[in-house]
Amino acid sequence: MGTGSADNTCALTALELTEAYRNGSLSPVEATEDVLAAIDRVDVDLNSFCIVDHDGARTAARRAEQRYRDGAAVGPLDGVPTSIKDVFLTAGHPTHRGSRVMAEADDGSAPTVDAPVTAATLEAGCVVVGKTTTPEFAWKGVTDSLLVGITRNPYDPSRTPGGSSGGSAAAVAAGLGPLSTGTDAGGSVRIPASFTGTVALKPTYGVVPMFPSSPFGTLAHAGPMTRTVTDTAAFMDALIRPDSRDWSVVPPSATSPEPGGYLAAALDGARDVERPLRGLRVAYSPNLGFGTNDADVEREVAAAVRTLEDLGAAVDEIELGLSDPVDAFHVLWFAGAAAVVKPLGEGAIDRIDPSLRDALSRYHHFTAQDYLDAVAERMSLGVRLGEVHHTYDVLVTPTMPIPAFAVGSDVPPGWHSPDWTSWTPYTYIFNMTQQPALSVPCGMTDAGLPVGVQLVGKRFDDRVLIRAGAALQPRVADRVPRPRIHACAGTDR
């Protein structure tokens, strides 16, 4: 895949890049050219991008370079090569949301406005190199579509990177830009983070504004996808800008009273002290009461929990005894999925992802009472998990109970269910409760596939997760080597 050296810019984090820009050892133009060349060279094997904007990225990089020359960098991420998931409006480029139906209906007039996440990314000075792949309408936990085909995992291209933000995760893991954006209405940033050895935060609902509103309603969150918790924190500080187009957005002060508060929390957690998490109360639930884990996953997550203890956290393994809320989730989820397809017109149902069509045929007989019952169950879950946080600051679970499986299917080969929710028990529950959840890579299976640990906080305690994750990640980083397909393959991570 290439012969880059250890100092190849594609191996640097976002904050390492901007430090190099400030000290003059590297420029935004050089970094952007390296990333664009890497995309051209590497993405043929991954298919993580659906649009690569060479000209636009070069123009943005030159502007960023001039700002550094003038001593006028706009923030800690100015000039960093970044990608945008193809569900966010991006002025001047189409947003097809992975849908062949939408692409066929495209009249060639690209959007003239940016989604809040896109606007915030640009205002932070990031250099947008392109848009990343998603399954149709971001509806499932793997990334393939009739429009752009199959996206593959950098650790093993025969495996899925997960989804629905699988293109973003694969790009970040492979060194094709250290930052990307994703959405998560049932696990869509955390599933691929776990499968690709990357970091992803699903913030508390409403912290990062969204427009247009998601068809999946108040299940849907937008969040950053990176390689380090510290970069995640810096990106969050940029993304929490207010936007009046989202009526449900909360003030930035809800989770970060001071500007730069997320990055400050990460730097606090990453301090080189013996026990930086002293006083943090952690509840460890290996299965939430209803999940079943691959043995390698359970081993690696348990090791990460022991590391949290070594860092000073007080850890209790608890029995939550929850029942799987998947039936209620399906009511909320597929009501949204049906709402996506209906406006596409007569016959559209026959031209969408066949697995989405099949799922809608199984889940469409919902009544108003079913919906109200699902909302009631959602409220009860929120109460129950809120009680956990009366005692504990952080709840720890595996992000995923299994490692990445073969591409070409929505579920692992021979799986007992056709539903993607059947193999993601620890993600969608926290969309129902709207809590913040952070996935951190913590180890590898015996087969060489990444494992993620999930840190969950009470609503609006996002920075507590950042602090804990930033302390944890450096202590487990050597357990997660660089993927086989990478922009600077052959070097150490």
Domain membership of residue 492 (yes or no) is no
Beta-carbon contacts of residue 107 (< 8 Å; ≥ 6 apart):
none
Q: State the CATH number of the domain containing residue 85.
A: 3.90.1300.10
Measured between alpha carbons, how far is 50 from 475 in angstroms, rounded to an integer? 35
Model pLDDT, residue 83: 98
Average pLDDT over residues 94-109: 94
Domain membership of residue 411 (yes or no) is yes
Catalytic residue among 48, 83, 145, 164: 164
DSSP string, 104-170: HH--S---SS--HHHHHHHHTT-EEEEEE--SGGG-SSS-EETTTEE--BTTBTTB---SSSHHHHH
What percent of the chain clears pLDDT 90, i.e. is strictly above it?
A: 91
Whether 355 is catalytic is no
Model pLDDT, residue 291: 97
Q: What are phi and psi of 374, to 5 degrees?
A: -65, -40
**pLDDT higher than threshold 90 for residue 7:** no
Measured between alpha carbons, how far is 359 from 337 in angstroms, rounded to an integer? 10
User: What is the torsion angle, in degrees rounded to the nearest 10, for the CA atoms of residue 457, residue 461, residue 467 and residue 472?
Assistant: 10
Catalytic residue among 48, 83, 85, 145: 85
More confident residue, 91 or 242: 91
Q: Using pLDDT thresholds of 50, 70 and 90, give the confidence band for residue 8.
A: confident
Work out the angle between the directed axes of helices 368-391 and 326-341 (0-180°, nearest 10). Answer: 130
DSSP letter, residue 417: -
pLDDT tens for 318-370 read: 999 999 999 999 999 999 999 899 888 888 999 999 999 999 999 988 999 99
Model pLDDT, residue 5: 39
Model pLDDT, residue 491: 44
Model pLDDT, residue 271: 78
Tokens of 196: 């690709």
Model pLDDT, residue 2: 34
**Which domain covers residue 143, as residue numbers?**
9-479
What percent of the chain clears pLDDT 70, i.e. is strictly above it?
A: 98
Model pLDDT, residue 376: 98
Domain membership of residue 415 (yes or no) is yes
Q: Report which of 231, 220, 227, 217 is spatially closest to residue 192, judged by C-alpha positions.
A: 227
Strand ranges of the sheet holding 127-132, from the earlier edge strand across to the other edge: 49-52, 127-132, 81-85, 179-184, 221-226, 199-202, 437-444, 450-457, 394-398, 281-284, 314-317
Which residues, in sequence order, are bridge partners of residue 282? 315, 394
DSSP string, 186-240: SSTTHHHHHHHT-EEEEPPTTSS--SSPPTTGGG-EEEEEESSHHHHHHHHHHHT
**pLDDT higher than threshold 60 for residue 492:** no
Measured between alpha carbons, how far is 465 from 471 in angstroms, rounded to an integer? 10
Q: Is 77 left (phi over 0), alpha (psi -120 to 50) or beta?
A: alpha
pLDDT tens for 255-312 read: 998 889 999 999 998 876 788 999 999 999 999 999 999 999 999 999 999 999 999 9
Beta-carbon contacts of residue 121 (< 8 Å; ≥ 6 apart):
82, 84, 128, 179, 181, 238, 239
**SS3 of 457, please?**
strand
Catalytic residue among 27, 99, 188, 214: 188
Domain membership of residue 166 (yes or no) is yes
Work out the angle between the directed axes of helices 28-46 and 14-23 (0-180°, nearest 10). Answer: 150
Question: How many separate domains does the chain show?
Answer: 1
Domain membership of residue 345 (yes or no) is yes
**pLDDT higher than threshold 60 for residue 410:** yes
Enclosing H/E stretch for 404: none
Domain membership of residue 424 (yes or no) is yes
Measured between alpha carbons, how far is 242 from 227 in angstroms, rounded to an integer? 26
Average pLDDT, the chain: 95
Model pLDDT, residue 379: 98
pLDDT tens for 426-462 read: 999 999 999 999 999 999 999 999 999 999 999 999 9
Q: Computed from CA positions of residues 33, 35, 36, 42, in that sequence, does the dihedral angle turn out positive or negative?
A: positive
Q: Report which of 473, 451, 13 is spatially closest to residue 195, judged by C-alpha positions.
A: 451
Domain membership of residue 302 (yes or no) is yes
Measured between alpha carbons, how far is 408 from 389 in angstroms, rounded to an integer? 39
Q: Report which of 350, 78, 33, 449 is spatially closest to residue 234, judged by C-alpha positions.
A: 78
Pair 73, 119: CB distance under 8 Å:
no
pLDDT tens for 174-197 read: 999 999 999 999 999 999 999 999
Model pLDDT, residue 6: 34
Model pLDDT, residue 40: 97
Measured between alpha carbons, how far is 287 from 301 in angstroms, rounded to an integer? 11
Tokens of 491: 């070097």
**pLDDT higher than threshold 70 for residue 490:** no
Helices and strands counted in the chain (H then E): 15, 13
Domain membership of residue 491 (yes or no) is no
Whether 164 is catalytic is yes
